Structure 1
Amino acid sequence: MMRFYSLYVQKVIRLTSGSVRFDLLIPEHLKSIFHWKPGQFIRFQFEINGEIVERDYSICTAPYEGYLSFVIKRTKNARVSKFVQEHIKEGFYVLVSAPIGTFGIPSRPDEKRTLAAFASGSGISPILSIIKDTLYHESGVRFYLFYGNTNEKEVIFKNELTKLREKNPNNFFPYFLYSQQKMQDKLFEGKLDAHKIKLIINQIMNWDELDEALICGPKEMIVTLANAIYEHGIPKKNIHYELYEPVEKVFHDDKIKRSTVKEVKVTFTFQQSTKTMNWINNGSSLLTALLDSGVDAPYSCKGGVCGACICSKKEGEVYVDENLILTENDLKNGKILTCMSHPKTETLIINLDDV
């Protein structure tokens, strides 16, 4: 069961017309718990009109900065972002989980390497954390950022990114693209898509230089760019992405295994209580079956990226789709991701508490 901690909101800063940054103070006795890796996120728990809701937000500060920040971008019909922006003020306390997630890259301070990040809208949050931490620790890095927005006024962290460029002129190269603003250089006019990426890379840097790529934004953008980058010779293991929405698979050539099992009797332990349910094989994942049965099972991305839905398989078998979390050793030891699991046997026993 996920544990939540009460953190103090020490600062609230409006960044754009629809985006607000919240800075949280980490007390001394919780610093060991809130020692995050660049690219991770935290889960928030809010009470809205008597209903408990949870949302995940990426951390945008780097660990060396000593405080934890996140950004909430208000969108249409998004009642949680609306509630937080209107009701959470400086001096308030919020309920927050320990940092979770695997998006990011290991630091390599002794190497010279070229990195490229592709972000859209609020997808800049985890990317910014990674950029700042990498520039702080790696003097030999060349870090390119391609950041898409509707127009210049909607660019989150524009001033901070500009200052990072000024401070690291030989290491950091940010480029801004606008889908609804005329640009003198047409190269930076339009959305980040496969064609645009090909033009940009060919003119600004060489594909052969690129060691690793990071992508964060809408799922359509992630799928498009990940495949475009892969098709230009970058291995899948060097293409990192953070999904905020579920997607069946990212890379077009990934194979999805399915079985002929029609129904599975699932025995699951959750919050120290053991129950059973029937899982109908209609193509949906184990996570979807749990949620449809009214189980408040843990999850975040639904795309095999964050690791929030990892659990232990005690008996039975499932097909686990390709993902960025589980190693072969994890699978041998019975670890599965409910969001990527599909039926293989007619009975299954899992423990959602055992992560």
Structure 2
Amino acid sequence: MTINMNPEIQLDTNYYKVIGIRNLSEHTFVLSLPKSRFKFEAGQHVSLSISGDYQSREYSIYSAEEDENLEVLVKEVDGGYFSPKLKHLKIGDMVEVHGPFGKFGLDQKNKESNKHVFIASGTGIAPFHSIIKSTPNLDYHLIHGVRTIEEGYEREEYDADRLTLCTSRDKRGDFHGRLTEYLKKTNFDKNTCFYLCGNSDMIFDSMEILSDKGFGRENITVEVYF
């Protein structure tokens, strides 16, 4: 075993010290790690494990490609095994990172010619945060479905006229109701690329709605969280 004397990375290049924990709500937070030589494409995910623990979980990368730190967005699952352990990490604790993995990301061949509509539920917004922050001047519309406005994580980071926050349990968002109801009521340009990330029910329902509007599977890229 070799020891790297870099204060940010120890033991092995897969091990990183926690350098920040940013709470976005009571149960949701951003875990920050030193990026070092870690390279990824916006939209990809990593596998995280805690030093000394046998389990791991996959999380979409939240940070932009050129950000100084590597960040993931985590929601603590009530009764879960792994996310509460991440929630209780402290600055200086070690986590193991494997990846990046996946091919979910921006449709590069249509990057300039098409409009890009990102549809997310809950923490499914993470890869879109990375994509948007990594791609200046992108013609995008972000549709985020949450229960309350407090779950519109760091919504101030997006162009106000490009974000539609759909809140199902309060009226303080841009649209009161589920994001699927918003999709039903909204017309989209034919040259639109759709990207869906979140729970499976939302994704299947959204794909059916988009199909009814004339958009085929070739127009849609999907990342299912659970």
Structure-1 residue corresponding to 2:16 = 7
Relative distance call for 1:160 and 1:110 in structure 2 (3 A) is: closer
The partner residue of 2:25 within 16, 22, 35 is: 16
The partner residue of 1:158 within 137, 155, 176 is: 155
Structure-1 residue corresponding to 2:184 = 198
- Structure 2 distance, partners of 1:119, 1:43, is 21
> How many residue pairs are counted as aligned between the two chains?
215
Residue aligned with 1:99, SS:
strand
TM-score normalised to the size of structure 2? 0.86
Cα deviation, residue 11, structure 1: 1.3
Structure-1 residue corresponding to 2:217 = 236
Relative distance call for 1:54 and 1:182 in structure 2 (3 A) is: same
Structure-1 residue corresponding to 2:103 = 102
Letter in 1 for 2:61: I
Residue aligned with 1:91, SS:
coil
1:8–1:26 CA contact under 8 A, matched in 2? no
Structure-2 residue corresponding to 1:189 = 176
Cα deviation, residue 109, structure 1: 9.0
Relative distance call for 1:218 and 1:184 in structure 2 (3 A) is: closer
Relative distance call for 1:198 and 1:70 in structure 2 (3 A) is: same
- Structure 2 distance, partners of 1:26, 1:192, is 34
Residue aligned with 1:112, SS:
coil
Cα deviation, residue 155, structure 1: 1.8
Cα deviation, residue 61, structure 1: 1.0
Structure-2 residue corresponding to 1:216 = 197
- Structure 2 distance, partners of 1:184, 1:51, is 39
Runs of 4+ in 1 over 3 A off after TM superposition: 106-110
Residue aligned with 2:14, SS:
strand
Deviations for 1:165-210, whole angstroms, at most 9, x for unmatched residues? 16xxxxx61011100002597xx111122x43020x23xxx332x4
Letter in 1 for 2:77: T
TM-score normalised to the size of structure 1? 0.56
Structure-2 residue corresponding to 1:129 = 130
**How many percent identity over aligned positions?**
26
Residue aligned with 1:216, SS:
strand
Structure-2 residue corresponding to 1:93 = 94
- Structure 2 distance, partners of 1:173, 1:184, is 14
Uncovered stretches (5+) of structure 2, i.e. residues with no partner:
1-11
Relative distance call for 1:59 and 1:110 in structure 2 (3 A) is: closer
Cα deviation, residue 211, structure 1: 2.1
Q: Tell which has more relative contact order, 1 or 2 (C-alpha 8 A, sep 6+).
A: 2
**RMSD between aligned alpha carbons?**
2.3
Structure-1 residue corresponding to 2:70 = 68
- Structure 2 distance, partners of 1:113, 1:207, is 9
